[in-house]
Amino acid sequence: MLDQFLLGLSVVLQPHVLIYAFFGVFLGQLIGVLPGVGAITAISLLLPVTFYLDATTSMILLAGIYYGSQYGGSIASILLNLPGTPSSVVTCLEGYPLAQSDRAGLALFVAAFSSFIGGMVGVAILVLAAIPMTVVALKFGAPEYAMLVILGLLAASMIGTGSQIRSFAMVLLGIALGLVGADATTGYYRFVAMPELADGISLVSLAMGLFGVSEVIRNASRRPAANAAPLIIKMRDVIPTRAQAKSLAFPIVRGSSIGSFFGALPGTGAAIASFMAYAMEKRFSKTPMKFGKGHLPGLAAPESANNAASQTGFIPTLTLGVPGDAVMALIIGALILNGIIPGPRLMVDQPELFWGVIASFFVGNIILLLINIPLIRLWVLLLRIPYQKLYPMIIIMICVGVYSHRTSVTDVLLTLAFGILGYLMKNYRFEPAPVLLGFVLGPLLEDNFRRTMLLYGGDFTIFVTRPISAVLVVCSALMIVWAVWSSLSHRRIPAPSSP
């Protein structure tokens, strides 16, 4: 294990790879700071760029944006009470009161440090889990894959925000969009309304439309009601006192464990992990009345949780090729566009890529800790850029990115159509993230389901007679029971959507 990790480090520490790792986390941090531009928008904007890079560097770049944005997201939450990413919504609860009482420096330091610990715990668990998971995953046949995808899609719609029925309907819509084009098994053209759709809908169009264009439409005229961020942060009192540090140790440990767990589950991600960590911290605290008024453990736990989750989220993505949330779906999509089939063979066939990406998380978290607090002036300055100066650039990045992907004007127009769809969906309380997940996982589900039926003569009992598949069936059933039970008792935790 250590050998492989060192192999990965040797890949990352090559200068031309390291520069992309740095660029990725820097961009992620920046994107996280800017309210209104999420990791998913940034990654879809950069998808076309990755066609010019090799698979390893593009993975390192895109993954860096993802976990980098978790660090950046907390800055806007603490200083402006505006969460930069969905997973930093709870950071506002304790972070903003701290900033108001003149302890912004302390809050930023605690957030960055617990993020770092959480991230490192996540990376460690990823390294430990990678080989055993791959061993299990190599035993996966078509029935297991089909059930795993079903479990992931169920989890994504059951645990997210809003109505489970609405989310699942959106998963189905995503699967439907994924069906467009030639059938992979027989080559039969399905839903090809115009010749340009013969190759299917492009992931770039769908992601940029649903997440990029729709947000621009919504926010073009929006001006933040909140006052501008303070330009000067008092840098004294940044380091917590010994007593404060002591009170943070267990919340960080608890947050990291909760985060690692929820990150590794398919369908749940950093946002849910941070909510769970905060709720848990509050429930088991001896002083629950301190929460909401700038209580440091309430800041440290969710911050470590969301970073741990954003690292362990790569366990299913890298070992099984099954993305846990919409961001991971995009990263998987980037791999596929680079001609690499994600799955358990990845570690065996491409150890440099596999371990290089994992080692880049280790390096990336260190870089993030180093650029976070020292460059705080820069991040605060970025917070002052009005959205009105950003969105025209986003529009041309979307247009040029989509157009250059397949040199297709139709794709650009489709992106607009998906943008309007995404905008209307949100107005009617439908989340766009499940659509993307369904779109990426749909073909995987269809392929494995059809292959299972073919291999086992149309016998549905195969799903419960194979042991791994049976476990997945039980998990899916429990998920449905839990969803029905919780919607009947109306006690769902109001968590935000995955990014």
Distance CA 326, CA 171 (A): 11
Q: Which helix (H) or strand (E) holds 22?
A: helix 15-33
Task: Identify the residue among 90, 173, 359, 475 touching other proteins (CB under 8 A).
Answer: 173
462 and 452 Cβ atoms separated by less than 8 Å? yes
Asked if 465 touches other proteins (CB under 8 A), the answer is: no
Distance CA 148, CA 208 (A): 27
Which class for 447: exposed (0-12), middle (13-18), buried (19 or more C-beta within 10 A)?
A: middle
Task: Identify the residue among 163, 244, 247, 338 touching other proteins (CB under 8 A).
Answer: 163
Task: Identify the residue among 198, 381, 385, 400 touching other proteins (CB under 8 A).
Answer: 400
Distance CA 67, CA 21 (A): 11
CB of 196 to other proteins, least distance (A): 12
Task: Identify the residue among 7, 13, 172, 238 touching other proteins (CB under 8 A).
Answer: 172
Residue 214 phi/psi, 5-degree rounding, is: -65, -40
Residue 192 Rama label (left phi>0; alpha psi -120 to 50; beta): beta
CB of 143 to other proteins, least distance (A): 14
398 and 213 Cβ atoms separated by less than 8 Å? yes
94 and 292 Cβ atoms separated by less than 8 Å? yes
- Based on CB atoms, which residue is closest to other proteins, 321 or 419? 419
Number of residues that bind other proteins (CB under 8 A): 57
Site for other proteins in 213-272 (CB under 8 A): 213, 216-221
- Based on CB atoms, which residue is closest to other proteins, 221 or 489? 221
Site for other proteins in 181-200 (CB under 8 A): 183, 185-186, 188, 190-191
Task: Identify the residue among 412, 436, 483, 495 touching other proteins (CB under 8 A).
Answer: 412
* Region near other proteins per CB under 8 A, out of 6-14, 91-99, 294-302, 391-399: 391-399
CB of 63 to other proteins, least distance (A): 21
Asked if 423 touches other proteins (CB under 8 A), the answer is: yes
Amino acid at 36: G
Q: Three-state DSSP class for 226?
A: coil
Task: Identify the residue among 398, 440, 441, 462 touching other proteins (CB under 8 A).
Answer: 398
SS (H, E, C) 92-149: HHHHHHHHHCCCHHHHHHHHHHHHHHHHHHHHHHHHHHHHHHHHHHHCCCHHHHHHHH
For tokens 């779109």, what's the residue?
439
Asked if 430 touches other proteins (CB under 8 A), the answer is: yes
Measured CA distances, 149 to 139, 143, 154, 476 (Å) = 16, 10, 8, 10
* Region near other proteins per CB under 8 A, out of 21-29, 162-170, 229-237, 491-499: 162-170
* Virtual torsion, Cα 354, 358, 359, 362, nearest 10 deg: 180
Task: Identify the residue among 14, 101, 241, 388 touching other proteins (CB under 8 A).
Answer: 388
For tokens 């340009």, what's the residue?
196
* Region near other proteins per CB under 8 A, out of 16-24, 290-298, 325-333, 400-408: 400-408
Task: Identify the residue among 138, 378, 413, 480 touching other proteins (CB under 8 A).
Answer: 413
- Based on CB atoms, which residue is closest to other proteins, 2 or 428? 428
Asked if 319 touches other proteins (CB under 8 A), the answer is: no
> Measured in whole angstroms, how far is the alpha carbon of residue 189 from the centre of its chain?
32
> In terms of DSSP H, where are the helices of 428-466?
433-455, 462-465
Asked if 373 touches other proteins (CB under 8 A), the answer is: no
- Based on CB atoms, which residue is closest to other proteins, 118 or 442? 442
- Based on CB atoms, which residue is closest to other proteins, 172 or 238? 172
Q: Three-state DSSP class for 182?
A: strand
* Region near other proteins per CB under 8 A, out of 62-70, 196-204, 269-277, 452-460: 452-460
CB of 333 to other proteins, least distance (A): 20
Site for other proteins in 54-93 (CB under 8 A): none
- Based on CB atoms, which residue is closest to other proteins, 241 or 465? 465
- Residue 181 pairs in a beta bridge with 190
CB of 236 to other proteins, least distance (A): 38
Q: How many CB atoms lie within 10 A of CB 457?
A: 7
Task: Identify the residue among 6, 128, 131, 165 touching other proteins (CB under 8 A).
Answer: 165
Distance CA 88, CA 27 (A): 17
> Measured in whole angstroms, how far is the alpha carbon of residue 265 from the centre of its chain?
12
Q: Which residues of this chain interact with other proteins, rule CB under 8 A?
A: 49, 52, 163, 165-166, 168-169, 172-173, 175-176, 179, 183, 185-186, 188, 190-191, 213, 216-221, 388-389, 391-393, 395-396, 398-400, 403-404, 407, 409, 412-413, 415-416, 419-420, 423, 427-430, 446, 449-450, 453-454, 457-458
